[in-house]
Structures are given as C-alpha cells and as structure tokens.
Amino acid sequence: MSRDHVPSPKSQQRRRLLQGAAALSMSGVAGLALAQQFPTAKVNTTKLAVTDTEVVVGQLHSATGTMAISETGSIQAEQLAIDQINAMGGVLGRKIRVIKEDGASDWPTFAEKSKKLLVNDRVAAVFGCWTSASRKAVLPIFEKENGMLYYPTFYEGLEQSKNVIYTGQEATQQILWGLDWASKEKKAKTYFLVGSDYIWPRTSMKIGRKHIENVLKTKVVGEEYYPLGHTNFNSLINKIKVAKPDVIFAAVVGGSNVAFYKQLKAAGVTADKQFLLTISVTEDEVLGIGGENMAGFYSSMKYFQSLDNANNKKFVEAFKAKYGKDAVIGDVTQAGYLGPWLWKAAVEKAGSFDVDKIAAASAGIELKTAPEGYVKVHENHHLWSKTRIGQAQKDGQFKVVAESPELIQPDPFPKGYQ
C-alpha cells in the first residue's frame, strides 16, 4: 500500500468510533431480540427488579473498616465480571445494573443492608460478604426473603443453604489438605494455633485440632484468639517462642495481619527459623503486610495470582487493565469473580431470574473459564476445586509449591469434625 492510501490518525479514530458504535448498536439489537425470546412476565414471576432491558443486582461488602483491606478485591472482581457480561450482551438480553452497599466491617450493618437490597430494591442476586460473621448475619434474611447470595470466601463449612452459592472453599478442602501437606512434606509434629476471635477462625481451628490430634496423631501446643482489628501480638509471640512449635497455623484476619507479620519479623520469627502455614493471607493482605514481612511463609488456598494457565493469564490481564498495573489478585478476589458468571449460567440454564429456579438449576453447572482452572457446582451449592500451597515471595506474590492432584469434592458436614 502506498503512503497515499494510509488513513490519517483522525480518520482512523473516526473509523474506530463508527465501528464501536456499530458494534454497540448490533449488541443492543441482539440483546433486544434475546430479551423478546424471554418475556419479562415469564422470566420474572416474583417481582424482582427485572425489566425488558435491565436486571438489578446487589453488591454488599466492606468498603470501609478493618475488613476493607480484604474485601476491596472482591468488589473489584465482581464488577469486572459484570462489566464483561454486559459487554457480551448481558443476561437473557438484559444489562446488569449494580446497587453497591457498604457493610462497613459491622455485622448488624450487613444485616440492615441485605434487607434493604432484598426488600426495597428487589435485586435478583447479591454478590457479597467476606467474614463468616457477616454471612451468618445476613443468612436468615436471605432465607426469609428468598434472596440469592454468592459468597466468595473460604470458610469453616458446617452450613448449606438453598439461598447461597459458596464460591470459596470449605474446611475439608482448604484446612485438611493444607495440614496433610504440612505433616507429610514438613514432618510437622507440634502446632500452635492462632486466629481472630470470631466464628470462622474458632471453628476452623476446632476442625484443625481434631485433624491434628485424631488423624495426624500429632500435638497442639498452644491456641490463642484476638479481637478483629487487634494490633499488639507481642505477648502471643513470646508464647510461641516458649512453645517452639514445628508449625504456626494461623487464621488472623483482615488488617490485624499487618501488625501480626511485622511484629513476627521484628521479634526474629522469620521463615528461615519458623514454619508458618496460614489459611487467611492472600495477595490482597500481603499488599498491606509487605512482601518482606511475609516472605517464606506458606498459605493454603485454591488460587494464587501466579497460577500458570491461559484462563488466569486472561483474567490477570483484564484485572490490571481495569484497576492498574500494580493491582494484585488474591484467592477471595478470584472467587468473587466467579459469582456473576455462575449466576449468569444458572439464569440461562433456568431460563428465569426467579430465585427458586436458579437455586434448582445451579447444581452441575461447570465453569471452564475459571482463572483457577475449572470448577463445578455440587448439589450442596459448594464448588469442586483444587487446593494449592503457595510460598510468599518478597514481591508480594506466591510461588505455588504443591497442588492437589484432583478436584476435591466439597464436604461441608464432615463426619468426626463437628
């Protein structure tokens, strides 16, 4: 092509604008045609916020307070998924509109906001919560008002609800596999358990202690809990030094992790001297802790940003394009990203936005595009998934050093652990 035929930058820009407008127009036409195949009167028989062109969902996380350090990633990932779904034409031809509410790291506020979303706003689904305390606070409301919650956090299990899809792991997937790995690979014999003082850490440690004592035939030499937001761990660290455990098994949550790991390092409790396995620190928390304070310690999760697969590379690229090159992605962030996609798949399988039909359609849904690789919804509304062990690096990322060979079936009510 001669230079005479090379379009000017201005004409190239105009052409891109026209092409974009045409694409949007085609998308709108296709969306309208699809929506006409699924009349609102048939896909919305329970008076949810669904029209011929729009479906409204809720997002309920802590944007403020001590849990904001952990929940910001979930907020971002859920919005990314919704944006991508809208760019594809939405769900049953309807674009998704989001109403965001701030639980403010306060469980009564979570309950109040969930009732507002379900009763006043009539949202078709809610993506949200992080702590088990917040989930327990909203669960009776979701069951009474028949709402659908997509909950993204790893948790203790011992729960199953028609109104919840659990996109994180339950205890048998994360805790038991992680402890088995520590016992086998690190020859651990003694454990010191530490966590924040609420339902998830306490129940997780109860399950962990039973596994340590009854299955691994090893010993717990200390167990301590501290309030959410606690920042002085010096007395705990002295107890750990006296007990000299093979493993510190940690479930410290939220902003408290910053003080905990910084004080461990200041006291000389570093990875070259002490083995530590956490079930609560992801890349999101390390961003606040500082990679240099966490380096060498281990975390048991189903997802790490460093996972080497095509789905994850595409996800990480899109996340950074939207939120900046320095943005990081942790386990719960990725599990948050799954929520809107699983809901979309359930709506399309059911051919309806009605909660009862979505709940019934959810079992068996597969997501082959999940950044963690592949997931499938069990009839108990938890996901089949793999578990991985990551070793923290100074740059804030984790190096995956172990992975379960197969997907682990979710078992929220394991016999012998209750």
The alpha carbon dihedral of 13, 15, 18, 22 has a sign of: negative
Q: Rounded CA gap, 385 and 88, in Å? A: 27
The residue behind tokens 């010993």 is 219
Domain membership of residue 14 (yes or no) is no
Q: Residue 224 corresponds to which tokens in the numbers above?
A: 């301590």
- List the structure tokens of 209: 């202690």
* Angstrom distance (rounded) from CA 351 to CA 345: 10
8 Å CB contact between 402 and 181: yes
Domain assignment of residue 29, yes or no: no
**297, 330: one domain:** no
Query: Residues 160, 198: one domain?
Result: no
Is 217 contained in some domain? yes
DSSP 293: H
Q: Are residues 200 and 278 in the same domain?
A: yes
What pLDDT score does 26 carry? 52
CATH number at residue 292: 3.40.50.2300
**Nearest alpha carbon to residue 134 among 204, 231, 68, 49:** 68
283 with 399, same domain: the answer is yes
Residue 16 forms part of a structural domain? no
For residue 33, the model assigns a pLDDT of 79
Structural domain span for residue 134:
42-169+309-384
Closest by CA to 382, choosing from 413, 357, 344, 406, is 413
Regarding whether 397 and 256 lie in a shared domain, the answer is yes
The residue to which tokens 């606070």 are assigned: 137
Distance, in Å, from the CA atom of 346 to the CA atom of 305, rounded to the nearest integer, reads 27
Assess whether 78 and 163 both reside in one domain.
yes
Quickly count: other Cβ atoms within 10 Å of residue 395's Cβ: 11
Say if residue 279 is in the same domain as residue 315.
Answer: no
In terms of Cβ atoms closer than 10 Å to its own Cβ (0-12, 13-18, 19+), residue 160 is middle
Order of strands, sheet of 383-384, starting from the edge strand that comes earlier in the sequence:
366-367, 375-377, 383-384
Residue at 7 is within a domain: no
Q: Which of 184, 210, 383, 152 is nearest to 277 (CA)?
A: 184
Question: Does one domain contain both 138 and 242?
Answer: no
Per-residue pLDDT of the chain (418 residues; tens, 9 = 90+): 333 344 454 455 445 444 444 444 455 566 777 888 899 999 999 999 999 999 999 999 999 998 888 899 999 999 999 999 999 999 999 999 999 999 999 999 999 999 999 999 999 999 999 999 999 999 999 999 999 999 999 999 999 999 999 999 998 899 999 999 999 988 999 999 999 998 889 999 999 999 999 999 999 999 999 998 899 999 999 999 999 999 999 999 888 999 999 999 999 999 999 999 999 999 989 999 999 999 999 999 999 999 999 999 999 999 999 999 999 999 999 999 999 999 999 999 999 999 999 999 999 999 999 999 999 999 999 999 999 999 999 999 999 999 999 999 999 999 888 7
The candidate with the shortest Cα–Cα distance to 363, out of 387, 345, 337, 385, is 345
Distance CA 202, CA 156 (A): 9
Within this chain, do residues 141 and 177 fall inside the same structural domain, yes or no? Answer: no
In degrees and rounded to multiples of 5, residue 238 shows phi and psi of: -65, -40
Q: Has residue 165 been placed in a domain?
A: yes
> Sign of dihedral through CA atoms 348, 351, 353, 359?
negative
> Which token pair is 113?
């906001």
Phi and psi angles of residue 103, each rounded to the nearest 5 degrees, phi first = -75, -15
pLDDT of amino acid 67 = 84
The answer to whether residue 360 sits within a structural domain is yes
Q: According to the model, what pLDDT value does residue 21 have? A: 43
pTM, two decimals, is: 0.87
Can you tell me the distance from the alpha carbon of 383 to that of 322, in angstroms, rounded to the nearest whole number?
27
Residue 265 included in any domain? yes
Residues 325, 292 within the same domain: no
Residue 113 and residue 88 share a domain: yes
Say if residues 108 and 138 touch (Cβ distance below 8 Å): no
Task: State how many domains the chain has.
Answer: 2
Let me know whether 105 and 181 are in one domain: no
